[in-house]
A and B are shown apart, each in its own frame.
Chain A
Amino acid sequence: MTVIDSAVLERHGIKPDEYERIQKLMGREPNLLELGLFSVMWSEHCSYKSSRVHLKTLPTTGPRVVQGPGENAGAVDIGDGLCAVFKIESHNHPSFIEPYQGAATGVGGIIRDIFTMGARPIALLNALRFGSLDTPQARRIFEGVVAGIGGYGNSIGIPTVGGEIVFDERYAGNPLVNVLCLGIAHRDDIIKGAAKGTGNPVYYVGAKTGRDGIHGATMASAEFDEKSAEKRPAVQVGDPFMEKLLMEACLEVMKTGAVVGIQDMGAAGFTCSTSEMGSRGGCGMTVDVTHVPQRETGMTPYEIMLSESQERMLLVVERGREHEVEAVFEKWDLHAVKVGEVTDGHRLKIHERGTLVADVPNRGLTDEAPVYNRPMQVPGWQKHVQGCSFADLGPAPSPQRAFEQLISTPTIASKRWAYRQFDHSVGTNTIAQPGMSAAVVRVKDTSRALAISVDGNGRFCYLDPYQGAKLVVAEAARNVACAGGEPIGATNNLNFGNPERPEIMWQIGEAVRGIGDACRALKVPITGGNVSLYNETEGNAIFPTPVLGVVGLLEDASKTVTRTFKTAGSAVVLLGDNLGELGGSEYLATVHNLVAGRAPELDLKREAALQALIIKLIRNGCIESAHDCSEGGLAITLAECAFDSGGIGLSADVTAVTHPEAPEYAVNATLFGESASRIVVSVPSRHLDVVMSAAKDAAITAREIGRVGGDSIRLSVNGEVVIELPVADAEHAWATAIETKMSRKAAS
């Protein structure tokens, strides 16, 4: 029996004060297995110990919220007794260690969270961050992650319908892989991850347990250093075929009504599912690891409890109805085995061949995990980076050159190289495919559709985490609104550095505060999310990157519009004010290699009014296309309306903004500034008056800035043409930028 000394605690990532807490909860010294249980359950990844106090402040209620945070996924009512069940998950660290498998198992994990709730998954989205594609390492990770996402999602047959990809050196040592899954469930069929009913059998079903992923949860809670190579045996391999069988079998088994509770085994595996189901249900559980199907020989209880082998589920079944459950699993060639029982009290008792090897209060592992109110401090550099002296930038580059540079910069360029590797047509629900801004999936057997968008903006959040987070919420909701969807719920993934550093903790606190304020103002409740911390390599943190996933509802699926122009002659109208804010813009980053300035202003009241307006205009069929202005500003947004339209161009003329600190940059600020709350719409002449007066009523600035038509992109500022090139050329550069870089592979 190993003595628990500081070295052992160190290896388990348990701090001395935490160990004292464990001893108190146990009323004695824990044994090594028990320590292992605490170490995984108290890891940042499972316990949210650093973020909890902040997450508590988020708005999580609303008329449509059926399930808020706390379950495997959130759920919102979408009418006809149906719910949209969705959640976002990160698999950042595993994807850095093994891009293909890391991303693949990330997809597998979030899918399990959704069908565990009794929902059939119908859509996947992802938010990805990589280093510059000019480095071989970033290309290798990007290639592997995209292949892994496709490899898993395509096989199991859930369409990947959208996402976003950003390339920035700040993610070189810490790529981000966030995956959102959305499913549909009947409100009454939603089933929870709670154990109930003393004496009810506990079943294990799915893949056999191996030694893979042991301490994955604690790994996801530690910074990277050269030593992480040693953690490599932890790599897990995804088995989408097994998961497909599990998904179908579980959805079928739930229909029998014999399932009391169900939970997947994700991070912290068997430990997490047994302790969480017990404490959620207010009861205990006793299991014998001897019954757990094992892939490798000679596995210890410690290894079995902490293994993170994929594609495994835990079910609590109504006693006396075991055969119904077993029969369904047999049909799918899955063998559900009884591993234990629900008990009175609140203890998780683990046996090996009948002898008790661990006995812990399950709440001690879950609800009573430590919660930290970690010190926060504004980084010393914060003020500094918010300043931006255009004087040092030298003469302003020509808009034409800047534009051509921007359309082929990987962050703005078409992501088709990636999403053409994703099956987006399986399931026959995808109305707006990847590439069309927000994704839109119809809800079969209803007239409705759901619009979904995931968005993040590390740059804005780096310059001002509070403001940046608000802007991210606004953009995600605006993208959904631009497809005609009324935002009804959101999920979020908080990707940050080491929370034990006050500067990072400050970023987290500010970002959460921003998300909360924006969600309250836009009336979008947060129904769940995920926190990924310690995204640092050798002390270099990523940009603070909260990623928002917003789900919007269209009552009439047929009304949805996309970003692309439809008919020559229609008016191009800009909704919202063009303020020419260049702070944190893609323009500054790409053209001037500079991340600086103030993040754009955001008036949440005006944002809400703008979104209400666009939703109304789309519902009334007044507009042919709508596209939100984001990365690259107005010029890029207008170009994107022409791309994929079949070569329809436009000519537009916008009024120059005033740019006091550097007048010579006024034109570029006008074209490439990333002010919030702007939407470009195209309107058939016959509807123009309606649109204009509707905007007036909503107190939203609306300017007719040009006309759809011709075969070139022709942009003027104050009557002077500053950008002009054939749509075909611009579109080619935009569409092929990433594949060009990827095909130049091993070159460097």
Chain B
Amino acid sequence: MKFAVVVFPGSNSDYDAFYAASRVVGEQAELVWHKDTDLKGADAVILPGGFAHGDYLRTGAIARFSPIMAAVKSFADRGGPVLGICNGFQILLEAGMLPGAMVRNDRIKFVSQLVPIRVEHTDTPFTAACAPKQVLKLPIAHGEGNYYAPPDQLAELEANRQVIFRYASAAGEVGTEWNPNGSLNGIAGICNRQRNVVGLMPHPERAAELPLGSADGRVVLASVVKALQDLKSSRPQDLTNA
């Protein structure tokens, strides 16, 4: 399969995602410039981490207007798997492709450390290869990862099982003591109603090899490979390129 990794001005984990997808997971990957208008026939799209446009206005606020985003939207509307990592997640929120918004970390400061997160649901293309409630050790590196959604919307998210990752203890317990940024309900990642668009603050692409401190992130990218194979075997023609 083929990953498209979108490069926004100010993206800084774009090559990390490209490297993990191509060199670690061993699939095809292509970096796609934000001014492009097509996704080069990719089967899955990654919006990478970084500081698009410096995050000078609000994280992701300006990037959502990039020409490529129209293609990403329609790709997602056709059911194509889209993963937003950190800044990519923030862009998906600003673009309205995922519900809610990010505010400053409750302790204000930028946080950079390895944290455990719990996989809440495995029925998304980016958790398909995970074990239920599997705990992944992934690095976070953000100043605005404090997820917010209005009460009704939050309730809806939970009801629809759209919370995909939650900050947790190494043993998988959830609670404020393991919440690094004040996110409501300890949310680290969510998906859309159709479950094909996933966003998370932690960086799976930066934890795909043991020497880097954790290889737990690999399964997130490996999942989409599996998901697409399952999809292909269930449906002859790949709908994402339809």
Contact residues of A with B, CB < 8 Å?
147, 150-151, 154-157, 239-242, 244-245, 331-333, 419-428, 430-431, 433, 442, 444, 557-558
Given contacts A156-B12, A333-B9, A425-B206, contact A444 B19 (CB under 8 A): yes
Chain B residues, CB < 8 A from A333: 9
Find chain A residues with CB under 8 A from B143 CB: 154
Main secondary structure of the interface of B (DSSP, over half): mixed
When A244-B10, A425-B112 are in contact, do A155 and B211 touch as well, CB less than 8 Å?
A: no
Our count of residue pairs bridging A and B at CB distance below 8 angstroms stands at: 91
B226 on the A face (CB < 8 A):
no
Set A157, A419, A431: member contacting B212, Cβ < 8 A:
A431
| B12 in contact with A157 (CB, 8 Å) | yes
19 A-B contacts (beta carbon < 8 Å): A147-B110, A154-B51, A154-B110, A154-B143, A155-B12, A156-B12, A241-B10, A244-B10, A244-B54, A331-B33, A331-B35, A420-B112, A421-B109, A422-B110, A424-B112, A425-B139, A428-B205, A428-B208, A430-B213
Measured CA separation A244–B7 after assembly (Å):
13
Partner of A428, one of B9, B54, B109, B206: B206
1/0 contact trace for B125-145 toward A, CB 8 Å? 000000000000001010100
Complex CA–CA separation, A147 to B211 (angstroms):
28
Instruction: Tell me the bound Cα distance from A426 to B207 in angstroms.
Output: 10
Taking A157-B12, A244-B10, A421-B112 as contacts, is the C-beta distance between A431 and B211 under 8 angstroms?
A: yes
> Complex Cα distance A151/B143, Å?
10
- Please name 18 further chain A to chain B contacts, defined as beta carbons within 8 Å, in addition to the given A420-B109, A424-B112, sorted by A numbering: A154-B112, A155-B10, A157-B13, A240-B54, A241-B9, A241-B10, A242-B54, A244-B54, A333-B9, A420-B111, A420-B113, A423-B141, A426-B13, A426-B49, A428-B19, A428-B212, A430-B213, A431-B211
Query: Within the assembled complex, what's the spacing in Å between the Cα atoms of A154 and B206?
Result: 14
Q: Which A residue sits closest to B49, measured CB to CB?
A: A426
Residues of A contacting B110 with CB < 8 Å? 147, 150-151, 154, 421-423
Shortest Cβ gap from A672 to chain B (Å): 31
Q: Which residues of A contact B113 (CB under 8 A)?
A: 420
With A and B bound together, what is the CA distance between A242 and B50 in angstroms? 14
State A420–B143 Cα separation when bound (angstroms). 11
Closest to A154 in B: B110
C-beta contact mask, B21-50 vs A, less than 8 Å → 1, else 0? 000000000000101000000000000011
**Which of chain A's residues has its CB closest to B207's CB?**
A425
Within 8 A of A (CB), among B100-121: 109-113
- Assembly CA distance A558 to B205 (angstroms): 20
Give a binary string over B192-212; 1 marks a CB under 8 Å from any A CB, 0 the rest. Answer: 000000000001011111011
Residue B157 CB within 8 A of the other chain: no
B16 within 8 A of A: yes
Give the distance in Å from the alpha carbon of A497 to the alpha carbon of B141 in the complex: 38
The interface centre, meaning the residue of B19, B207, B211, B212 with most chain A CB atoms within 10 A of its CB, is B211
Whether A425 pairs with B212 at a CB distance below 8 angstroms is: yes
Q: Which residue of A lies closest to B54 (CB)?
A: A241
Q: How far is the CA of A427 from the CA of B19 in the complex (A)?
A: 10
- Chain B contacts of A557 at CB under 8 A? 211
**Minimal beta-carbon separation of B109 from chain A (angstroms):** 5
Q: What is the minimal beta-carbon distance from B228 to any residue of chain A, in angstroms?
A: 24
Binding site for A on B (CB under 8 A): 9-10, 12-13, 15-16, 19-20, 33, 35, 49-51, 53-56, 109-113, 139, 141, 143, 203, 205-209, 211-213
Q: Given the interface contacts A240-B51, A241-B56, A333-B9, does A428 sit within 8 Å of B16 by beta carbon?
A: yes
Q: For B24, give the chain A residue with the smallest CB separation.
A: A428
Residue in chain A with minimal CB distance to B213: A433
Closest to B141 in A: A423
Q: How far in angstroms is the closest Cβ of chain A from B211?
A: 5
B13 partner residues in chain A, CB cutoff 8 A: 157, 426
Give the Cβ gap from A383 to chain B, nearest Cβ, in Å: 46
* Given A420-B113, A444-B19, CB of A426 within 8 Å of CB of B51: no
- Min CB distance B61 to A, Å, is 13
Known interface pairs A150-B110, A421-B110. Does A426 touch B141 (Cβ–Cβ under 8 Å)? yes
Bound CA span A241–B209, Å: 29
Q: A425-B141, A426-B141, A428-B16 are in contact. Are A332 and B112 (CB under 8 A)?
A: no
A430 to B112, CA, bound (A): 13
B19 with A244: CB separation less than 8 A:
no
Tell whether, in the assembled complex, residue B112 and residue A241 are in contact, meaning their CB atoms are under 8 Å apart: no
Q: Give A428 to B23 CA distance when docked, in angstroms.
A: 12
Tell me if A155 and B55 are in contact (CB < 8 A).
yes
Choose among A151, A245, A558 the residue that contacts B211 (Cβ–Cβ < 8 A): A558
CA of A155 to CA of B9 in the docked complex: distance in angstroms? 11
**In the complex where A425-B112, A426-B12 touch, is A155 in contact with B51 (Cβ < 8 A)?**
yes
Q: A155-B51, A241-B54, A420-B112 are in contact. Are A430 and B141 (CB under 8 A)?
A: no
Residues of B within 8 A of A155 (CB): 10, 12, 51, 54-55
Cβ-closest chain B residue relative to A419: B112
B183 to chain A, nearest CB (A): 17
Minimum CB distance partner of A422 in chain B: B112
Report A588 CB to chain B, min CB distance, Å. Answer: 34
Report the Cα distance A680→B19, complex, angstroms.
37
- B212 A241 Cβ-Cβ under 8 A: no
Q: Which residue of A has the minimal Cβ distance to B206?
A: A425
Chain A residues in 8 Å Cβ range of B20 = 428
Complex Cα–Cα for A429 and B19 (A): 11
Contacts of A425 in B (CB 8 A): 112, 139, 141, 203, 206-207, 212-213
- The answer to whether A157 touches B19, judged by C-beta atoms less than 8 angstroms apart, is no
Q: For B108, give the chain A residue with the smallest CB separation.
A: A147
Taking CB atoms, residues of chain B closer than 8 Å to A419 are 112
Please tell me if the beta carbons of B54 and A427 are within 8 angstroms of each other in the complex: no
B-side contacts of A239, CB under 8 Å: 54
- In the complex the two chains form, is A423's CB within 8 Å of B112's CB? yes
**Top 4 A-B residue pairs of the complex, sorted by shortest distance between their CB atoms:** A157-B12, A241-B54, A425-B139, A423-B141
User: Which residues from A are CB-within-8-Å of B16?
Assistant: 426-428
